[in-house]
Amino acid sequence: MADRYLNFTGTAPGRFLTRRLGLPQPSPLRRWTPESPSLEGELLHLTAGESPHEADLRQILTRTNLTLATESSHPAAVVLDATGISDTPGLAQVHAALHPVVRSVAENGRVVVLGAPVSPSDHHQAAAQQALEGFVRSLGKELGRGRTATLVRMRSAEAAESTLRFLLSPRSAYVSGQVIEVGDAQAAPCDWDRPLSGRTALVTGAARGIGEAVAEVLARDGAHVVVLDVPSAQGDLVRVADRLGGTALPLDITADDAGERMASALAPDGLDILVHNAGITRDRKLANMPADRWNPVLDVNLTSVLRTTDALLKSGTLNRGGSVVATASIAGIAGNVGQTNYAASKAGIIGLVRALAPGAHAEHGVTVNAVAPGFIETKMTAAVPLFIREAGRRMNSLAQGGLPVDVAETTAWLAASASGGVNGQVIRVCGQSLLGS
Ligand code: NAD
């Protein structure tokens, strides 16, 4: 469903009228295309305080496609290294660094603030580093014109390279106001043009919508994709598999033996990337919700994710260095009228990811993360009544809905072995939705 308001505000009369009426003014977001895969322009590298990462970081930023600068009148992106700030007087340097440049950041530009992990034993450092979170979330709400702000808490610049490349590219167009923790896992060598080369990915619910887009982006990045959906969607599923040079696996994930059937379909080489995308809604207020609308949502969205992940880990099907990406939702963070079942299932995904991630990494060498989409333009959201749909689209810092490809790009970043330091994270792909923020 086309966003007519976004198209209208892109015209001269539309801009004039919406400005006069004080209405939201979304900028069309710049996304990855083969012709234009990078942001273009200068990358302003600023440091607040004494950074332990300055030299390593410069190396990494030089490897992005942007031109590294220490001064710029119109930067495409700004990286502020605030990892060295260990007390609240140091926060003045954050203001001093960004206040003069923030207005000049280009349309669709990026502001990435780098922080240090919050210390549990030094309350001065904790206050200063936690302050960065409120700062970045507020800046994301102020920037406008398709610009985004993100905080990355990192231990080593090297482990953060894949995250920085994602954030400093058009692939992260609909990710804003997020706080991302990156551990110090050793970064795997990576072909940055095809970061998933040689890997096998299984995507559930891939016959259409977000799952189809995820399969497409993973295949673009070099993965062999195994696309799974219910047997009744086999026609569409085979079309997706054929288009992407992948393999179709018609299977209902709620079947008792679904995990075992996935494992045997993936034998003998196993699986590197598991994307739990399949999901359903059966909306109704709790007072009107019979068990036959509650149970299937919990079964598909949560129980089957737990059961199949356990089976694939237990059978050793998930290879070391692999990754699991599950699909939550901002409904699982903020709650939603008529969605007690759906929000419970999606909040359950967040619990599963946070609890499983450390052990799965230690024992099996795999990362476990979640994407939490906000309002994404799909058949599902096109069916939402007009006024609720318009509210869903506009109530975020970018004042528009995301596209399935935005969830797919975020999934591909999390799935890359170069992102091994990102574990147990829930990344909202919501344009910094006001809901649950
Ligand atoms: P969709 O309905 O277009 O696609 C879901 C796919 O999952 C379908 O192809 C369906 O056949 C498949 N599926 C359902 N039950 C299955 C089962 N038992 N076994 C195998 N496959 C099954 O939905 P979408 O909008 O593309 O959403 C994809 C995911 O993103 C879901 O988990 C959804 O909850 C989540 N999400 C979507 C939005 C949004 O705005 N569209 C927002 C937040 C979260």
Active site residue 342: yes
370 lines ligand 1 (CB under 6 A): no
The rounded distance, in Å, linking the Cα atoms of 212 and 239 is 10
Token digits of residue 214: 């995820």
**Residues facing residue 166 across a β-bridge:** none
Protein residue with least CA distance to atom 27, ligand 1? 210
Q: For position 73, what pLDDT does the model report?
A: 93
- Segments in the chain below pLDDT 70: 1, 187, 437
Q: For position 303, what pLDDT does the model report?
A: 98
The rounded distance, in Å, linking the Cα atoms of 213 and 184 is 30
Reference 334, options 320, 346, 349, 316; nearest CA is 346
Q: For position 1, what pLDDT does the model report?
A: 57
pTM of the model: 0.96
ipTM associated with this complex = 0.99
Q: For position 26, what pLDDT does the model report?
A: 87
Q: For position 437, what pLDDT does the model report?
A: 60
375 lines ligand 1 (CB under 6 A): yes
342 lines ligand 1 (CB under 6 A): no
Q: For position 330, what pLDDT does the model report?
A: 96
Residue 195: cis peptide before it, omega within 30 degrees of 0: no
DSSP 29: P
Residues whose CB falls within 8 Å of the CB of residue 82, separated by 6 or more in sequence, listed in order = 48, 49, 90, 93, 94, 113, 114, 115, 132
How far does residue 293's CA lie from ligand 1's centre (Å)?
A: 16
Q: For position 238, what pLDDT does the model report?
A: 98
Q: For position 187, what pLDDT does the model report?
A: 67
DSSP assignment of 258-323:
HHHHHHHHHTTT-EEEEEE---------GGG--HHHHHHHHIIIIIHHHHHHHHHHHTT-EEEEEE
Q: For position 8, what pLDDT does the model report?
A: 79
- Catalytic annotation, pick one of 342, 395, 402, 437: 342
Q: How far lies 405's CA from each of 171, 180, 325, 359, 427, in Å? A: 9, 20, 15, 30, 15
| Contact assessment for residue 180 and residue 422, using Cβ atoms and an 8 Å cutoff | yes
Residue among 376, 388, 395, 426 whose CB has most ligand 1 atoms within 8 A, to mutate:
376
Q: How many CB atoms lie within 10 A of CB 65?
A: 14
User: Among the atoms of ligand 1, which is closest to the Cα of residue 253?
Assistant: 19
204 lines ligand 1 (CB under 6 A): yes
